[in-house]
Amino acid sequence: MKKIIIAVTLSILYSCNQSENTEAKINTITPLMEEASNLFKSITSLPYEDLPENYQEINNPVNITSIDLSNSMSDKVILGKMLYFDKRLSKDGNISCNSCHNLNTYGVDNLPTSPGDEHKFGNRNSPTVIYASLHANQFWDGRAKDVEEQAGMPILNPVEHNIPSEKFLEDRLRDIPEYKMWFKKVFPNQVEPITYKNLTNAIGAFERRLVPESRFDKWLNGDDKVLTEKEKAGLASFINNGCVACHSGVAVGGQMMQKFGLYGNYWELTKSKNIDNGLYNITKNESDKYVFKAPSLRNIEKTGPYFHDGSVKSLAEAIKIMSKLQNNKELSNQEVEEMIAFLKTLTADVDAKYKK
């Protein structure tokens, strides 16, 4: 009888140890993962509805929380999507928001600069709209505080959508029965729901849903096998070479304004046709010359050409230029190759339901 009891006890203890070992293996946090968790956050950790009112204020590179969105689309998001794809938001009906920020190509048009309603080109590259809602501010010079404010600016820009005034667009949409119905549905307590503010509010609601999960997010959530050794080496190199000074947080960038060319003139390496003064054009402060928003690196492999003027086609070349201009370092070809491998883990496409 004693032998049976001992055997059963040992069996239970062995089973418990096996269970604990299995759990330990599943939850093992590697040193690199621990270091990365202090610099980056997964896109899946905070439900969208729990975003605090002061989200933009706490949205910084280190302690930023992340987002998990449900699969459903609210009426406001549906309206925002309608507006996002509607060419009637340009004066002559030639472009929509999606023309420059094409959701079939990772939120960009892959052009150095983009043509507007009258086929005139702007002087800055159109950044991806995917993950833009996670940025501390919008545009290369940071002049808009959020995606709602940003959505209204290109519409009134004569080089872009070329709409003469807010009233012009409001009157146009008020003549469209479908929009009369949808705006009333989304803003039921307003006597006149079709307003420019409500329009940008709806577009912003749609853009805030464009935050897909990448392989890197899965790795941050504890799945160490989802990244290859080469990709992990690239992440380690990305951290050790100081790239995280500007590119960290949930968006892997998009949180700060920084001078482009701390160790040299950027145009000498990018071969830019025009020298853009950046934030200086707004503030006229000498210290703001050549200051631009450090972009998010999510989907970077898909969103070239690179920099504020789209002057560099190659991601490898862009990495070398950034290392030299911002950190005064010459990277080896192996380091660049490994960094590219890591950056590709940030690639994630939006769900088909958000596309036209």
Measure Cα distances from 302 to 21, 68, 170, 334 in Å: 40, 23, 35, 21
CA 217 to CA 96: how far, in whole Å?
A: 31
Q: Is 160 a catalytic residue?
A: yes
CA 194 to CA 175: how far, in whole Å?
A: 10
Q: Among candidates 83, 127, 85, which has minimal Cα distance to 107?
A: 127
- What would the two tokens of residue 355 be? 């596309």
Selected catalytic residue, list 49, 57, 149, 160:
160
Which 3 state secondary structure label does DSSP give 115?
A: strand
Residues 6 or more apart whose CB falls under 8 angstroms from that of 94 comprise 87, 116, 117, 118, 119
- What would the two tokens of residue 15 be? 């089973």
CA 184 to CA 267: how far, in whole Å?
A: 50
Inter-residue contact 193 to 187 (CB < 8 Å): yes
CA 35 to CA 100: how far, in whole Å?
A: 37
Q: Which amino acid is at 161?
A: H
Q: How far apart are the first and last CA of the chain?
A: 72
Catalytic residues: 160
